[in-house]
Chain A
């Protein structure tokens, strides 16, 4: 109850704060989503990508 009121007063009461929070959250969500999907993709395809087998073909300079 107190938490709900705190959240309401902090974010929802003013529309400017509400919309700003939504946009900032969208920005953070976009980054987090990209990182999560990339991590999952690399783990799913571990050992198959060029970054995993590069050391076999490119000698160190």
Chain B
């Protein structure tokens, strides 16, 4: 006969290691506070689980013997086990795995704050000075060097130039004509009808002192160097294309469009020198 025989089996609950102070063994996964569905005795969902039911407590007015107050003697059950331990042991930290760094923390952060700002500011200071010197040193490379500046001015001893003579000197790579004009030449230059010239310019505009004529010795046509004391007007003559300049350096005849250029110059009266540049 094949029959199903119920196997009796003893179920042993694992022993707990601890019991609560009330003697109840600790069973972490077993909810001792759970209630069955009939805990509210069918009074509906309006009944509050944390307050006693109406039949168990409260004041009844419609009793035949008057007002009756019913109470129940049972203390409300606590739903959560909340141990209140009296102890002096260490406080349990929230995250017990994190080490305690409090001995290493600064007592007061103002020193660290000032030091951090100081270091940041010092780096900024060095960076600013490096940037500034970089820019200024780069701009210095664009300015004229000392040898160029030394060549930029030329001094001429005027006492060595006799009247009626030309001197040609080199200034910034170009020839400069210096003419010590005689009185007759000055008269001739100043009395000419300069308004009718190709490049009208008076002799007073071109000279600072009547007897000294200073001008660049570059023909304004194509840049040749004119020859002194030559030409139809007693001044300069350009051999390249035949431009004639008068005794004030003004163009009178030939292809050149402009008068000979007058550079910036000054007279040094004390030392009797002419400074060109």
Which residues on A are within 8 Å of B, measured CB to CB?
A: 1, 4-5, 7-8, 11-12, 18-19, 21-23, 25-27, 29-30, 33
Contact = CB atoms under 8 A, between A and B. Distances in A.
Contact of B128 (A1, A7, A23): A23
Contacts, number: 47
Given A4-B114, A12-B117, A30-B133, 17 more contacts: A1-B108, A4-B110, A4-B111, A5-B110, A5-B114, A7-B118, A8-B114, A18-B121, A21-B121, A22-B121, A23-B128, A25-B121, A26-B125, A26-B126, A26-B128, A29-B125, A29-B129
Interface string B125-137: 1101100110000
A16 B133 CA distance: 23
Interface residues of B, number: 16
A9 B252 CA distance: 79
Contacts of B125: 22, 25-26, 29
B135 to A, nearest CB: 12
Contact of B129 (A12, A18, A19, A30): A30
A3 B111 CA distance: 9
Contacts of A25: 121, 125
A4 B121 CA distance: 15
Contacts of A1: 108, 110-111
